[in-house]
Chain A
Amino acid sequence: MERNQMHKHIFLMRQSFFDQGLLDEQFIQLEELQDDANPNFVEEVVTLYYRDSSRIILNIEQSLERNPLDFNKLDNYMHQFKGSSTSIGAKKVKAECTQFREYCRAGNGEGCMRTFQQLKKEYAILKRKLENYFQQSRQAGPSETACRPRMN
């Protein structure tokens, strides 16, 4: 694919993340922190997110297998997970975290489990899309908007 076309494709891909409600303004803030000195910052942060959060997801999974459920513990895990998800602008994932927490507060185990399944789905979808986006961005190389200009 010709380079300009590649950049246009990537631009539209990125736009779709916002249009579909997968990402919010917080992601743009991440992009604002990317500069000439740190041109892969966004990808690195997202990688860190998936690394951190896979551990929390495992903890939640294990906790959901307990009987009776420890809603306090689940809530604490979700608190952490929500914080991370919010930090990268993972809008849909964040919404599921909020829902999960409501079910925790209500002591509704079934609600928690159902929400958690949905959360994992959204989480995986976003991961796949972002991985694809970063891979294509790297292939396309820097565009004019990829790095902020230096300002002295």
Chain B
Amino acid sequence: MAPTIESVYLGNGGLSEGNNKRSNRFVKATWKNNLTALVVDNVELCRVLERENLRAYGVETVAVETGEAAVELVASGSTFNLIFIDIYLPTMSGPEAVRQIRAMGVRSKIIGLTAIITEKDEQDFFAAGIDEFYEKPLDPDWFVPIIREVDNQI
């Protein structure tokens, strides 16, 4: 049975962990390294699209709903080359989650995301420790060069 959108999205089922278990997936890019990414977005639709976009470009991606879940995942030892995180998260904000992740010594590339950019949002997010900040949704025009940069730096 072809994976439904729910089965692709759901937590740690066979499809979300590991390297793109949808073995006949058309992957648009390959990299020198096995790249991993974490997506943090409380809107299911956005989360699914962010994850699918990254997976389509050959990045093994895990998606979580909250800042707390992201912090917990990183604290438990999971490492990611890239983290994409929305500024507006329901309980722990994006900037707060980034602060806590950075405080753990994580040096991964962290990209802040928002649906609407305001100058204050941008400043807060950079102060928290993100590397770059973009308006959603993910667009290959800007995220592929970021992946390439990370891949070249490893």
Contacts and interface: CB of A to CB of B under 8 A. Distances in A.
B24 A33 contact: no
Interface of A: 26, 29-30, 32-33, 35-41, 44-45, 47-49, 52, 76, 79-80, 82-84, 86-88, 101, 148-151
Nearest to B139: A29
Contacts of B73: none
A98 to B, nearest CB: 8
Nearest to A26: B137
For chain B, give the interface size range: 20 to 34
Contacts of B116: 79, 82, 101
A35 B115 CA distance: 27
Contacts of A29: 53, 137, 139-140
Interface stretch (B3-11, B62-70, B74-82): B3-11
A106 B4 CA distance: 43
A39 B2 contact: yes
Given A44-B4, A44-B5, A80-B115, A87 B46 contact: yes
Contact of B26 (A83, A88, A150): A150
Contact of B115 (A40, A83, A88, A151): A83
B88 interface: yes
Interface of chain A: mostly helix, strand, loop or mixed? helix
A70 B39 CA distance: 30
Interface of chain B: mostly helix, strand, loop or mixed? loop
Interface of B: 2-5, 8, 22-27, 43-46, 48-49, 52-53, 56, 88, 114-116, 136-137, 139-140
Contacts of B5: 38, 41, 44-45, 47-48
A10 to B, nearest CB: 21
A50 to B, nearest CB: 10
Contacts of B45: 45, 48-49, 52, 84, 87-88
A41 B24 contact: no
Nearest to A76: B88
Contacts of A84: 43, 45-46
A83 B140 CA distance: 17
B24 A48 contact: no
A151 B43 contact: no
Contacts of B136: 83, 86-87
